[in-house]
Amino acid sequence: MAEELRTLVERLKAVSHPLRLRVLSLLELGELCNCQIAETLQVPASSVSEALRELRRAGFVAERKDGRWVFMSLVSRELASPFLKGLLEEAAAVPELQQDRARALAVRALAIPVVCSKVQRDAPTEREAARV
């Protein structure tokens, strides 16, 4: 049970990154699939996928596959950890993350296929116009 220093550092590094922190914060709303997150945050799907991989590696999120979609959610055991609980509490007060969450709610209100077919999956559509 006793956690290693290295493990704790890896967990910290996993969340010390703007995109990964934004994704983590979104998942507090409940499970989301890659494309919902990509659409919400207006970033390439491959970047979201990489962010999720790191968060999974650190043990924060788990995946549930359903057909071609992969839904990610926070691991409840982690949610009980003092560190993550404190971090999310602090994150809840960050304006940018609040805006992300508001967008996510709007995105989640749509049917997934509708959302996902809109996602810029690599073509440099309008990344520049990514106003929050």
The residues binding DNA (CB under 7 A) are: 13, 16-19, 33-35, 38, 43-50, 52-54, 63, 65, 67-70, 112-113, 116-117, 119, 121-124, 127
Segment 12-71, which members bind a copy of itself (CB under 8 A)? 12-13, 15-18, 21-22
Using CB under 8 A, pick the residue from 49, 94, 106, 113 that binds a copy of itself: 94
CA distance 29 to 101: 8
Tokens 């409840």 label which residue? 76
Q: 3-state DSSP: the chain helix, strand, coil percent, rounded to 5?
A: 60, 10, 30
Q: Which one, of 89, 30, 25, lies nearest residue 55 by Cα?
A: 25
Least distance from a copy of itself to the Cβ atom of residue 25, Å: 9
The three-class DSSP label of residue 70 is strand
Least distance from a copy of itself to the Cβ atom of residue 27, Å: 16
When asked if residue 113 is in the footprint of a copy of itself (CB under 8 A), the reply is no
Residue count, binding to a copy of itself (CB under 8 A): 30
